[in-house]
Chain A
Amino acid sequence: MIKFDAVSKRYPNGTTAVDDLSLDLPEGGVTVLVGSSGCGKTTTLRMVNRMVEPTSGTISVGGRNVLEADAAELRRGIGYVIQQSGLFPHRTVLDNIATVPLLLGWGRRKARARAAELLELVGLPADTSKRYPHQLSGGQQQRVGVARALAADPPVLLMDEPFGAVDPVVRTQLQNELLRLQEELRKTVVFVTHDIDEAVRLGDRIAVFRTGGRLVQCAEPAELLARPADDFVADFLGAERGLKLLSLTTLADVPHAPGRAIRADEPVGAIGRDGGRWRLVTSPRGEPLGWLDTDALPAGGTAGEAELAAVRPLRDTDSLLSALNEAVSSPAGAVARVTADGVLTGVTSRDAIHDRAGRSHADATRAAAPAAPSRTTAEKTRTTTEKPHEPAGEGVTPDDPAPDDPGPEAAAPAERPA
């Protein structure tokens, strides 16, 4: 869908922002460009809609060479979400979203109707439509930014650190929303971030750049984490990349034993001593409420009235990483498994999770490169042949001139809600 062919970007001062990049981004997938500041990831993104012109090489979107297109028309066909939203402060939320449809000549009525649809799509209440950006929270502004980018239904969506300026809780919400939207819309998304966790969460494929604008490795998250191309990538992925790999595997195929749960309305006197020290207490509907310590039962009352240790029940869609976390923090050394509705289905022991985690990691690491499952449109893993010249870590120098990536601090002051 988006094809970079031997693309370089050099600035007159001698800086190379992007160095001989060849990359093919499959249609309908999320490709995340990661790397530290000044690695050329933002420049790469901005060359797609000609916000930056390449020095050499060609870029095509949907088979059309972007350099031969009229820049303004090209941009109307490519959604763009920037850091801190870049909303127009003097336009209402609805008119912000309607920007591109209006430029395309849809007419005010149709453009606004479409904007109202999108407001709903990104999960904002209808009464925000008449408000101005500064009256919204950072997370809401970012949602409007996404809605604006999607307004004319472009096949391609460029996102430049869109969630960089919001707090971690909101960021997680926005990431989930994006995954939900993507499930529905199947856009070709190019997403720039310096946060490897965000990349692993969102990316169908991750392209790792290093200082000097060189693409080091482009692969699916699991493969990247299991087999980083070189020390630079391994270093960038961080010491916990084994754990990150676990975040990609779900609990679905991890077996569970039927849990012998106690209903909250059972009197404590009736609880047998044969079920182990820690027993799960559930609501009458079957939702886990907490772990009951049968060695320290109160004299009377029901199980629900006794003091319970916290439980965080896990669904099949939750990751092995969160299961591991819950198993470690649970006093019973086990996790409670529930259906999508939150009803207890059983219990998985810490050991079972450990086993599965070990196996999952071994599988990912063992899988030989040619046999790598090509889950997205086949694009071979591109790996630089050379090893990094300097020891890993040195390539992450933050003092790079970084003409493309001013970083969040350099941006104009954020519009804060009044």
Chain B
Amino acid sequence: MTVEWGWFPDHAGELTRLTADHLATAVPAVLFGLLIALPLAVLAHRVRPLRGFVLGASNILYTIPSLAFFVLLLPVTGLTRTTAITGLTAYTLVVLVRNTVEGLDAVPERVREASKAMGTRPLRTLLTVELPLALPVIMAGVRVATVMSISLVSVASYIGYGGLGQLFTDGFQRNFPTPVIAGVALTLLLALAADALLVTVQRLCTPWRRGTPRSAPKLWKRA
């Protein structure tokens, strides 16, 4: 298997387009995932009986094979980007909901109590105390969800929205490995870059944790 380096400059435009396309599927998936996961997790955290149901439901979504998922969605959303994004969003939920619930659980009870005792109403406590304190765990989930989405986008090439994954189909069909290798390498780079970006964002958002050893599992020592 040899890489034909000459292929790259000829296809620079296509690679850029596919990378942008890749992100245009992966990023909205994570954002929509967060939009759905946050209220669900808050609900699961506050209303104990709902907790098992919410966590269980997000787990079940995750167990549906990705290909089957797209097939199931096709009659509803057709061969569109919406189908790709919807499928990926469903997959991000499992880690986003779970991490958000765990992050909220980890907020020390006496801090919650203190907030209440100072005269802070529940919504304000959630927004200004609980969510900020849960942020490191939530962000750990966002990082996993992002990396996962970026790698899963290629599956959507079956419906034409695979981003860099289109290179795999292209390469396999023509028995020409260079685009496959390019696709793998770029997907990997994209995942690493996105993760580094998120670590930086997290550090900027949680100034109180700087210089402390305890933090969410890190792929990078420093951003």
Contact = CB atoms under 8 A, between A and B. Distances in A.
Interface stretch (B50-58, B73-81, B177-185, B205-213): B205-213
Nearest to B122: A72
Interface stretch (B7-15, B34-42, B107-115, B146-154): B107-115
A75 interface: yes
A103 B129 CA distance: 13
A129 interface: no
B221 interface: no
B117 A80 contact: yes
A89 interface: yes
A89 B213 CA distance: 15
Interface string B93-124: 00000000000000011110111111111000
Interface string A84-113: 101111111000000110010000000000
Interface residues of B, number: 22
A86 B114 contact: yes
A103 B133 contact: no
Interface in A40-92: 49, 51, 72-77, 80, 82-84, 86-92
A134 to B, nearest CB: 7
B119 A84 contact: no
A132 interface: yes
A169 interface: no
Given A89-B133, A90-B132, A84 B117 contact: no
Interface string A234-276: 0000000000000000000000000000000000000000000
Contacts of A378: none
B26 to A, nearest CB: 30
Contacts of A90: 129, 132-133, 206, 208
Given A84-B110, A418-B212, A49 B117 contact: yes
Interface string A125-145: 000000010100000000000
A82 B129 contact: no
A148 B213 CA distance: 27
Contacts of A368: none
B114 A412 contact: no
Interface residues of A, number: 29
Contacts of B108: 89, 412-413
A86 B211 contact: no
A76 B119 contact: yes
Contact of A82 (B113, B119, B120): B113
Contacts of A83: 110
B206 A74 contact: no
Given A90-B133, A132-B208, A75 B110 contact: no
A99 B118 contact: yes
Q: Which of B114, B121, B132 has the most CB of A within 10 A?
A: B114
A175 B121 CA distance: 32
A72 B133 CA distance: 22
Contact of A418 (B113, B114, B129, B213): B213
Given A88-B111, A411-B110, A418-B213, A76 B133 contact: no
Contacts of B114: 80, 82, 86-88
Contact of B212 (A75, A100, A134, A413): A134
A382 B115 CA distance: 35
A86 B208 contact: no
A303 B123 CA distance: 72
Interface in B157-176: none
B123 to A, nearest CB: 11
Nearest to A104: B119
Contact of B110 (A72, A74, A82, A418): A82
Contacts of A75: 116-119
A90 B136 CA distance: 11
A412 B212 contact: no
A100 B115 CA distance: 10
Contacts of A73: 119
B133 A51 contact: no
17 contacts: A75-B118, A80-B114, A86-B111, A86-B117, A87-B114, A88-B115, A89-B108, A90-B206, A91-B208, A103-B119, A103-B120, A132-B207, A134-B208, A411-B109, A411-B110, A412-B108, A418-B212
Interface of A: 49, 51, 72-77, 80, 82-84, 86-92, 99-100, 103, 132, 134, 148, 411-413, 418
